[in-house]
Amino acid sequence: MLISEVLRKKGSEVATVAPETTIEAVVESRAQFGVGALVVLIDGSSVDGIISERDIVRALATDGASTLAKTAADLMTAEVVSCAEDATIEQLMAEMTERRIRHVPVTTDGQLVGIGDVVNARVHNLEIATESLTNYISGY
């Protein structure tokens, strides 16, 4: 399955923040959108970084409550792994496992077009396959 198919089903909406957004506001946005990471956009469409719960927790461990006054640019991961819409789920999952990351923005010509929930898509596909095999074995 291609990432473009995942985006077609999920939609292309992505939770984003500006680099100057405080970590306190980042935490609030994460809770509001129910996501584990926010894409950081300087110009509104190019991916400049990603800030995840992992980035925030690491900063809290070293800097404590003062972390909340820092900005997304201070804590974001600037070297963002992204993928194209024609990547397969299998390719992307292998990359995510190798790099130990959970969030991969999808880009076209350097512009953000979505963020695919590849784990959810893969689990859904496995559930369908399991149900089909169970029905086949059971004679349904």
Mean pLDDT over residues 30-41, rounded?
A: 92
pTM of the model: 0.79
Mean pLDDT of the chain: 87
pLDDT for 113-123, tens place per residue? 888 666 565 56
**pLDDT at position 12, please?**
73
**Does residue 84 have a pLDDT over 70?**
yes
**pLDDT at position 123, please?**
61
Our CA angle for 88, 91, 97, nearest 5°, is 135
Secondary element (H or E) of residue 123: helix 118-138
Quote the CA–CA distance of 116 and 10 in Å, as a whole number.
8
The bridge status of strand 47-52 relative to strand 37-41 is antiparallel
Domain range 3-138, its CATH number among 3.10.580.10, 3.30.420.40, 3.10.20.30, 3.40.50.300: 3.10.580.10
Mean pLDDT over residues 42-47, rounded?
A: 84
